[in-house]
C-alpha cells in the first residue's frame, strides 16, 4: 500500500484550510445535483456522502442547502465542468488531478504551473490514467474497533469487498464501485465506524521516492490541494514513514 496515503489523511486533519474544503464540497454538491437531477440525499447516494462530509467539517446547513438549490437550478449559480489533468511528478510519479472549474483556462494554467514548479511535467490525456483503477475505498481506524483483521475481513468479503489492507493505524477495504454501497452498509450494520468512504482512483503499482523527489512531490500535492478548483489528487507515490515524518517536521 502506498505509504503516502497516511500523509494525505493526516494532512486533511491537521492543516487543511476549512474554508477551502467547504468551497470544494460545495462545488461537488452542486455538480452532483446538476448532473443527476436528484436533489434529495435520501435518493442520491453520492450526494448523501457529500452532505456527510460537509457536516463533518462543520459546514453550515444553510451553505449545504444553498449548494443543493444551485445545483437544482432553484438559485442562480456558477456552471462548473469536470476536467482531469494528468502528468508526472519528480521521480516518475504518476499524478491525476481532478478539477471542478468555471474557467478551463485558469485551471489548466495553474495546474501546469504547479507541475513545472515542482520538477514535474503535465502530460496528454490518458498518459497515466491507465496506471490507476477506480475502486470503492472504506477506512476503519483500528483505534475505533476491538475486532481483529480476520473478523473485519470476513464481514467485508461476505458483503462483496475485493480486498482488505491492514496497516498499523487502519483497515482499508477496497471494492468494485458497484459494490461500494452494499459493503459500506454491511460494515455499518456490523457496528464498525467508517472514518472515510469514497470512490477513488487507486494505483495498480507504486513508485518509491526519496530525498528531493519526495520533498517536491509533497509540496506539489499540497499546492494542488490548496487550489479551490482541484477536488482530488491521486498519485502512485510511495515514501518511507521515517522520511515522511522528517519532511513533515
Q: Based on the structure, what is the number of domains in the chain?
A: 2
Owner of C-alpha cell 506539489: 220
How confident is the model over 66-94, as pLDDT tens digits?
A: 999 999 988 887 888 899 999 999 999 99
Which of the listed residues 28, 47, 72 is the one where a domain comes to its end? Answer: 72
Q: Is residue 114 part of a domain?
A: no
| Secondary structure (DSSP) of 54-120 | HHHTT--HHHHHHHHHHHHTSS-----EEEEEEEE-GGG-EEEEEEEES-HHHHHHHHHHHHHHTT-
- Segment 11-19 shows an average pLDDT of 51
Q: Is residue 29 part of a domain?
A: yes
Q: Is residue 83 part of a domain?
A: no
Q: Is residue 219 part of a domain?
A: no
The CATH number for 149's domain is 3.30.70.980
Give φ, ψ of 41 to 5 degrees: -55, -25
Is 43 exposed, middle or buried, given 0-12, 13-18 or 19+ CB atoms closer than 10 A?
A: exposed
Residue 209's SS3 state is coil
CA distance 10 to 119: 25
| Residue pair 193/139 in contact by the 8 Å Cβ criterion | no
Q: Is residue 216 part of a domain?
A: no
Which of the listed residues 72, 89, 119 is the one where a domain comes to its end? Answer: 72
Which of the listed residues 37, 57, 72 is the one where a domain comes to its end? Answer: 72
Residue ranges making up the domain that contains 148? 132-203
How confident is the model over 136-148, as pLDDT tens digits?
A: 999 999 988 888 9
Q: Is residue 141 part of a domain?
A: yes
* Per-chain mean pLDDT for the chain: 88
Q: Is residue 41 part of a domain?
A: yes
Q: Using alpha carbons only, how large is the chain's radius of gyration in Å?
A: 18
Q: What percent of the chain has pLDDT over 90?
A: 65
The CATH number for 17's domain is 1.10.10.200
Q: At what angle do helices 45-56 and 61-72 cross, to 10 degrees?
A: 150
Where would I find the beta strands (DSSP E) of 119-229?
A: 121-122, 132-141, 163-166, 170-175, 196-203, 207-208
Q: State the pLDDT confidence band at 57, using cuts at 50, 70 and 90.
A: confident
Give φ, ψ of 2 to 5 degrees: -60, 125
Q: Is residue 222 part of a domain?
A: no
The distance from CA 3 to its chain's CA centroid, rounded to whole angstroms, is 15
6, 101, 246 from 143: Cα distances, Å: 15, 38, 24
Amino acid at each position: 500500500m502506498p505509504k503516502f496515503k497516511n500523509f494525505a489523511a493526516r494532512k486533511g486533519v491537521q492543516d487543511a484550510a476549512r474554508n477551502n474544503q467547504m468551497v470544494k464540497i460545495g462545488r461537488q454538491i452542486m455538480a452532483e445535483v446538476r448532473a443527476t437531477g436528484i436533489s434529495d440525499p435520501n435518493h442520491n447516494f453520492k450526494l448523501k456522502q457529500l452532505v456527510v462530509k460537509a457536516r463533518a467539517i462543520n459546514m453550515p446547513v444553510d451553505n449545504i442547502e444553498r449548494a443543493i438549490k444551485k445545483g437544482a437550478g432553484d438559485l442562480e449559480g456558477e456552471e462548473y465542468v469536470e476536467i482531469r489533468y494528468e502528468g508526472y511528478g519528480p521521480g516518475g510519479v504518476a499524478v491525476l488531478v481532478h478539477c471542478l472549474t468555471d474557467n478551463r483556462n485558469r485551471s489548466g494554467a495553474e495546474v501546469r504551473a504547479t507541475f513545472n514548479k515542482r520538477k514535474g511535467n503535465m502530460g496528454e490525456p490518458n498518459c497515466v490514467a491507465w496506471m490507476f483503477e477506480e475502486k470503492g475505498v472504506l477506512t476503519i481506524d483500528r483505534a475505533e474497533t476491538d475486532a481483529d483483521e480476520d473478523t473485519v475481513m470476513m464481514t467485508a468479503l461476505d458483503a462483496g469487498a475485493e480486498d482488505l489492507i491492514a496497516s498499523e493505524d487502519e483497515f482499508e477495504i477496497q471494492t468494485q464501485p458497484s459494490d461500494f454501497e452494499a459493503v459500506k452498509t454491511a460494515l455499518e450494520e456490523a457496528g464498525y465506524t467508517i472514518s472515510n468512504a469514497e470512490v477513488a482512483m487507486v494505483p495498480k503499482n507504486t513508485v518509491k521516492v526519496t530525498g528531493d523527489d519526495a520533498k517536491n512531490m509533497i509540496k506539489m500535492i499540497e499546492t494542488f490541494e490548496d487550489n479551490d478548483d482541484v477536488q482530488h489528487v491521486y498519485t502512485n507515490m510511495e515514501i518511507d514513514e521515517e522520511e515522511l515524518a522528517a519532511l513533515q517536521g
